[in-house]
Amino acid sequence: MKKLVIFLAVIFLCASFIKDGGYQVGDKAIDFTLKNIDDKTYSLADQKNAKGFIVVFTCNHCPYAVKYEDRIIALNNKYAKLGYPVVAINPNDATAYPDDNFANMKKRAKSKSFTFPYLVDDSQEIAKTYGASKTPHVFVLQKVNNDLIVKYIGAIDDNTDDASAVKVKYVEQAVDELLAGKPVVITSTKAIGCGIKWKQ
């Protein structure tokens, strides 16, 4: 009996450890139903025409997220019509960062004329399950049969500070490769960003 308890405890520990690690490229991603800034709920399953998604964990307050706002809008303008719409998710604890609360998300989306959903991950479960650690943090998903497969994780491009000096557009490259039916060459990148503020 004692051995069984230890065995189960080890399994449990391993399982929780894996969960903390989030998704790796090639993993099946879960769908979600989250509240959008239009007060309606949004889920990936409802987007029947999409071939995949550019899921961006982002927020209002972070200077990195702000630097990328125009580039996120441009991504959606370019790829939504090709079947890869942007889905932005704000995972931050709004108590810690009032800038990131739902009212301010609405304001920001309006002032920047977001053309994509901007969802609130209030329980932070989606960010945790995906393994988002900072903002912005991108997950490119491809629909394969009825599953959503993670094809790319990481940064939008290689220069946060200066959009005009970007040499490699990582997300565009990955989505272009998926659209061409090719394997994604650079499947993950690392970037500096604002750590997601987790609820206590």
193 binds another protein (CB under 8 A): yes
- Please identify, among the stretches 25-33, 47-55, 104-112, 184-192, the one whose residues bind another protein according to the rule CB under 8 A: 184-192
Given a contact cutoff of 8 angstroms between Cβ atoms, the answer to whether 110 and 171 are in contact is no
DSSP string across 72-122: HHHHHHHHTTTT--EEEEE-S-TTT-GGGSHHHHHHHHHHTT--S-EEE-T
Q: What would the x/- binding string for another protein be over residues 137 to 166, using CB under 8 A?
A: -----------------xx--xxxxx----
Q: With CB under 8 A, what is the number of residues at the site for another protein?
A: 22
**Binding flag, residue 39, another protein (CB under 8 A):** no
- 133 makes contact with another protein (CB under 8 A): yes
Provide the sign of the torsion angle of the four alpha carbons 128, 40, 48, 54, taken in this order: negative
Closest approach, Cβ 161 to another protein, in A, equals: 4
Which of 7, 8, 63, 147 binds another protein (CB under 8 A)? It is: 63
Whether cis (ω within 30° of 0) applies to the bond prior to 136 is yes
| Residue 20 makes contact with another protein by CB under 8 A | no
Rg (CA), the chain: 17
Is position 56 an interface residue for another protein (rule: CB under 8 A)? Answer: no
Number of neighbours of residue 38 by Cβ within 10 angstroms: 11
CA atoms within 13 A on the CB side of 38: 8
In the complex, the residues that contact another protein under the rule CB under 8 A are 62-63, 67, 133-134, 154-155, 158-162, 167-168, 170, 189-195
